């Protein structure tokens, strides 16, 4: 069913100059950022506990929970049997009754076996009970495409969970995001779906002293402008933020100034930041790894057309994964997910600087 994937470090982008962090920043991997956030929140609140497959003695299938078993013991770092529906429901029930569980899915693909509890037991209870039963729980794990793992292990669930009222859905990109958003998710009184990316776990990002402070926390529902620009707005989340920043570098060389928005939060969606940016640049490119139909990009496009239609100087461009289950073959797989050159091309189209779409197909 599962092969634990070694991190392949496919990405080594070198665009740290664009990050708004102090120049003396330390480097930290996303894995360490997640691990330290879990550690600090468990240390701060004894009601917080981690459960899932291989989180304890194995130290996490991707080593996110490394060292936590030793520090907090098997009562708080709970190895579960392979029963997604069962242990996810148990996590939800524990949250009903006063604890703050963090449920790890070895990958979010496996959350399909437990989606009933995420949607029906967690997301809907506060409403159905008229506010009597709130559900402070975090569902976390790697989401979306990894590398070479085929269709059943390479599905982005951002738009699935993003469409459901009662859930908050976060997708960190950098170590700063991972730390700040995971700590916010654990402290939040509502169910949070926390979509990590396996290919980012081993990646290092600079982190400021502020980010390293145990009180650090990011607001849920706020996007971050990763790079300012004036000609075109590119929205992205998770791994695609790195691609968008790379694309922006290329575009800059060609005289196009791209503004890159790291969504951070899929739900609530920071419509204000997106629309303000589009009103400035008058052009929009959305990027995601998930499927195009009813996707995150579709929602962003709708928001911009509803709120900023008069400001658009070009049709909006949506870049998404191909509308097919993920193929295994490396060449097909590469074709199925957005690439940096796709973003560059779309941005240039939006800026009327390229040949018409038909010619590039």
Partner 1 sequence: MSFTATKFSHSLLAVPINSSTPRSNDKPLSFSSDLFKHNASSSSFLGSTQKLLRLNARRSPPPVAAVLLQQTSNLLITKEEGLVLYEDMVLGRSFEDKCAEMYYRGKMFGFVHLYNGQEAVSTGFIKYLRKEDCIVSTYRDHVHALSKGVPSREVMSELFGKATGCCRGQGGSMHMFSKEHNVLGGFAFIGEGIPVATGAAFSMKYKREVLNQADSDNVTLAFFGDGTCNNGQFFECLNMAALWKLPIVFVVENNLWAIGMSHLRATSDPEIWKKGPAFGMPGVHVDGMDVLKVREVAKEAIDRARRGEGPSLVECETYRFRGHSLADPDELRNPAEKQHYAGRDPITALKKYLFENKLATEQELKAIDKKIDEVLEEAVDFAEKSPAPARSQLLENVFADPKGFGIGPDGRYRCEDPKFTEGTAHV
Nearest residue to 283 via CA among 239, 224, 218, 234 = 234
Contacting partner 1 (CB under 8 A), which of 1, 24, 131, 358? 131
Kindly tell me which of 165 and 255 has the beta carbon lying closer to partner 1.
Answer: 165
CB 74 to partner 1: min, Å: 10
Are residues 184 and 194 in contact, defined by beta-carbon separation less than 8 angstroms?
A: no
Question: Hey, what are 129's tokens?
Answer: 């009970």
Q: Answer yes or no whether residue 233 interacts with partner 1 by CB under 8 A.
A: no
Chain residues 189-218 in contact with partner 1, contact rule CB under 8 A: 189-190
Within 10 angstroms of residue 57's Cβ, the number of other Cβ atoms is: 10
Choosing from 178, 220, 284, 304, the residue that interacts with partner 1 (CB under 8 A) is: 220
Give yes or no for residue 310 binding partner 1 (CB under 8 A): no
Q: Hey, which residues does 52 pair with through a beta bridge?
A: 79, 104
Decide: is 305 part of the binding site for partner 1 (CB under 8 A).
no
Indicate the SS3 state at residue 315: coil
Write down the least CB distance from residue 43 to partner 1, Å: 13
Q: What is the DSSP string of 68-121?
A: HHHHH-TTTEEE--S-HHHHHHHHHHHHHTT-EEEEEPSSGGGGGGGHHIIIII
* Tokens at 233, concatenated: 């707005």
**Catalytic residue numbers, as ranges:** 84, 153
Q: Which of 28, 37, 92, 217 binds partner 1 (CB under 8 A)?
A: 92
Q: Measured at the alpha carbon of residue 64, what is the angle toward residues 111 and 186, in degrees to the nearest 5?
A: 70
Give the Cα separation of 115 and 101 in Å (integer): 16
As measured in angstroms, the least distance from the Cβ of 249 to partner 1 is 31
Q: Which of positions 245-304 make contact with partner 1 (CB under 8 A)?
A: 265, 267-271, 303
Distance spanning both ends of the chain, measured CA to CA: 37
Among 63, 117, 155, 349, interactor with partner 1 by CB under 8 A: 117
Are 94 and 101 within 8 A, CB to CB? yes
Instruction: Decide if residue 133 touches partner 1 (CB under 8 A).
Output: yes
Interaction of residue 43 with partner 1, rule CB under 8 A: no
Shorter beta-carbon distance to partner 1: residue 163 or 208 = 163
Taking the complex as a whole, the smallest distance from the CB of residue 280 to partner 1 amounts, in Å, to 21
- Coil, strand or helix at 344: helix
Kind and range of the H or E run holding 232: strand 232-236
Rule CB under 8 A: choose which of 120, 152, 208, 257 binds partner 1.
120
- When binding is defined by CB under 8 A, the residue of 2, 11, 44, 90 that contacts partner 1 is 90
The residue ranges that bind partner 1 (CB under 8 A) are 46-47, 49, 75-76, 80-81, 83, 85-99, 101, 116-117, 120-121, 125-134, 136, 165-166, 168, 188-190, 219-222, 265, 267-271, 303, 306
């Amino acid at each position: 069913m599962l092969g634990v994937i070694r991190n392949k470090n496919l990405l080594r982008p070198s665009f740290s100059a664009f990050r708004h962090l102090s120049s003396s920043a330390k480097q930290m991997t996303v894995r360490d950022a997640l691990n330290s956030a879990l550690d600090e929140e468990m240390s701060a609140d004894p009601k917080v506990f981690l459960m899932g497959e291989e989180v304890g003695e194995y130290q996490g299938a991707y080593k996110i929970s490394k060292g936590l078993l030793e520090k907090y013991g098997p009562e708080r770092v709970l190895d579960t049997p392979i029963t997604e529906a069962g242990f996810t429901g148990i996590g939800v029930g524990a949250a009903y009754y006063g604890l703050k569980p963090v449920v790890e899915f070895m990958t979010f693909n496996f959350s399909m076996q437990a989606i009933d509890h995420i949607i029906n037991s967690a997301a809907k209870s506060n409403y159905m009970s008229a506010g009597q039963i709130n559900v402070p729980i975090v569902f976390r794990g790697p989401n979306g495409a990894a590398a070479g793992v085929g269709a059943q292990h390479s599905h982005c669930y951002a738009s699935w969970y993003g469409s459901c009222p009662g859930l908050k859905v976060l997708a960190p990109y950098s170590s700063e995001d991972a730390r700040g958003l995971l700590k916010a998710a654990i402290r939040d009184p509502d169910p949070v779906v926390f979509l990590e990316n396996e290919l980012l776990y081993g990646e290092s990002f600079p982190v400021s002293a502020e980010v390293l402070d145990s009180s650090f926390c990011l607001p849920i529902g706020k996007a971050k402008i990763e790079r300012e620009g004036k000609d075109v707005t590119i929205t992205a989340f998770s791994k695609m933020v790195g691609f968008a920043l790379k694309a922006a570098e290329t575009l800059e060389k060609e005289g196009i100034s791209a503004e890159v928005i790291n969504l951070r939060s899929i739900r609530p969606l920071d419509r204000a930041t997106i629309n303000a940016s589009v009103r400035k640049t008058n052009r929009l490119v959305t990027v995601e790894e998930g499927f195009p139909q009813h996707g995150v990009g579709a929602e962003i496009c709708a928001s911009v057309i509803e709120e900023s239609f008069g400001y658009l100087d070009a049709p909006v461009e949506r870049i998404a994964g191909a509308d097919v289950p993920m193929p295994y073959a490396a060449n097909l797989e590469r074709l199925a997910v957005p690439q940096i050159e796709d973003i560059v091309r779309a941005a240039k189209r939006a800026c009327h600087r390229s040949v018409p779409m038909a010619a590039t197909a």
